């Protein structure tokens, strides 16, 4: 790592919230994209279990494996000098028992070399979060729509509508903070609900589909780059249309190969 690059830490994220500086987070699944994000100044890179749907074509994140997450965490970490890297704990790698969670989360930190793990759930997961933090594993929480509970929640639905639901989210966030979580992702909730949660805790909140009042924002990289044409939720803003660019480049390549124009003399070696 170059001497002039200071890595982002969990303490830096807490300081950013106190100072009112917004946190920038994106997903990445490989070293090449991770390096591009890191060079662009992203604060946090999440190796999300969304890789199971985005890269592997699976319908949900539920079949992601621990080995999958460790592998992608490791290769993302190779591309990063500055950003904090966190890895999603896959379904059933932390819910069965606290001891299981210690072993699996410990493997992620040890084998991937990342700075933290993310797990889903509120107050019921607080003892697990506390146990991980106690043995030195930084934990990011996740409230609102939790993809690993897709079927229990009745599909991709906004969470936290109504006063009782908001109170529940606030209670969950406070439980995660008390357990030692260093931040919380808030997914698919009304803007005002996310604001109340954000104001209720001293740790940063990172929103996705939860409005402008969170302490930071996260998107899936392939979605915001316009590579995932079939995914168009209301909250998603596309900052590029790379699917069009990729297809046009491939068509140009195919045409030149078929017409014998590639490789030309500029792209061939002489004897």
118-168 residue pLDDT tens: 999 999 999 999 999 999 999 999 999 999 999 999 888 999 999 999 999
- pLDDT at residue 2 in the model: 55
Do 34 and 60 touch, CB atoms closer than 8 A? no
With respect to residue 30, please indicate whether it lies within any of the assigned structural domains: yes
**Is residue 251 domain-shared with residue 159, that is, in the same domain?**
no
- Helix ranges (H only) for the chain are 10-19, 31-39, 51-54, 66-78, 98-107, 126-134, 163-179, 191-200, 221-224, 242-258
User: Rounded mean pLDDT of the chain?
Assistant: 97
Contact 136, 105 (CB under 8 A): no
pTM for the structure as a whole = 0.96
pLDDT in tens, 42-66: 999 999 999 999 999 999 999 999 9
The answer to whether 17 and 57 have CB atoms below 8 angstroms apart is: no
Strands 205-208 and 216-219: parallel
Q: What does the alpha-carbon distance between residue 133 and residue 129 come to, in Å, rounded to a whole number?
A: 6
Q: How many domains does the chain have?
A: 2
**Shared domain check, 32 and 125:** yes
CATH number at residue 92: 3.20.20.60
Clarify whether residues 253 and 213 are in a common domain: no
184 shares its domain with 250 = no
Same domain, 130 and 217: yes
Same-domain check for residues 102 and 235: yes
Same domain, 170 and 260: no
Q: Is residue 5 in a domain? A: no
Please tell me whether residues 209 and 258 are part of one structural domain. no
Task: Assess whether 101 and 114 both reside in one domain.
Answer: yes
Kindly name the residue from 187, 256, 259, 270 that is annotated as catalytic: 187
95, part of any domain: yes
The reply to whether 259 and 154 lie within a common domain is no
* Residue linked to tokens 């930190």: 109
Host domain of residue 257:
241-271
Catalytic: 120?
no
Phi-psi region at 27: left, alpha or beta (left = phi > 0; alpha = psi -120 to 50): beta
240-264 pLDDT, tens digit per residue, is: 999 999 999 999 999 999 999 999 9
Residues 166 and 196 in one domain: yes
Task: Assess whether 221 and 268 both reside in one domain.
Answer: no
Q: Is residue 2 included in any domain, yes or no?
A: no
């Amino acid at each position: 790592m170059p001497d002039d690059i200071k890595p982002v830490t969990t303490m830096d994220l807490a300081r950013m919230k106190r100072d009112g500086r917004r946190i920038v987070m994106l997903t990445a699944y490989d070293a090449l994209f991770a390096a591009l994000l890191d060079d662009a100044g992203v604060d946090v890179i999440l190796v999300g279990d969304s890789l199971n749907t985005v890269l592997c074509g699976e319908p949900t994140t539920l079949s992601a494996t621990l080995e999958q997450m460790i592998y992608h965490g490791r290769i993302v970490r190779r591309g990063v000098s500055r950003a904090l890297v966190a890895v999603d704990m896959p379904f059933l790698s932390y819910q069965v028992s606290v001891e299981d969670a210690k072993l699996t989360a410990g493997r992620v930190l040890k084998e991937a070399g990342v700075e933290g793990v993310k797990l889903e759930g509120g107050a019921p997961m607080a003892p697990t979060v506390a146990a991980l933090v106690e043995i030195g594993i930084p934990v990011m929480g996740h409230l609102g729509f939790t993809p690993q509970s897709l079927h229990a929640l009745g599909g991709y639905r906004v969470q936290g509508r109504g006063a009782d639901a908001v109170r529940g989210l606030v209670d969950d966030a406070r439980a995660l903070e008390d357990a030692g979580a260093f931040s919380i992702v808030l997914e698919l909730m009304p803007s005002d609900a996310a604001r109340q949660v954000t104001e209720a805790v001293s740790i940063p909140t990172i929103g996705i589909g939860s409005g402008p009042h969170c302490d930071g924002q996260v998107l899936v990289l392939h979605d915001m780059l316009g590579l995932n044409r079939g995914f168009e939720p209301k909250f998603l803003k596309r900052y590029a249309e790379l699917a069009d660019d990729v297809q046009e480049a491939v068509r140009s390549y195919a045409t030149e190969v078929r017409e014998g124009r590639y490789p030309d003399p500029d792209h061939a070696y002489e004897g």
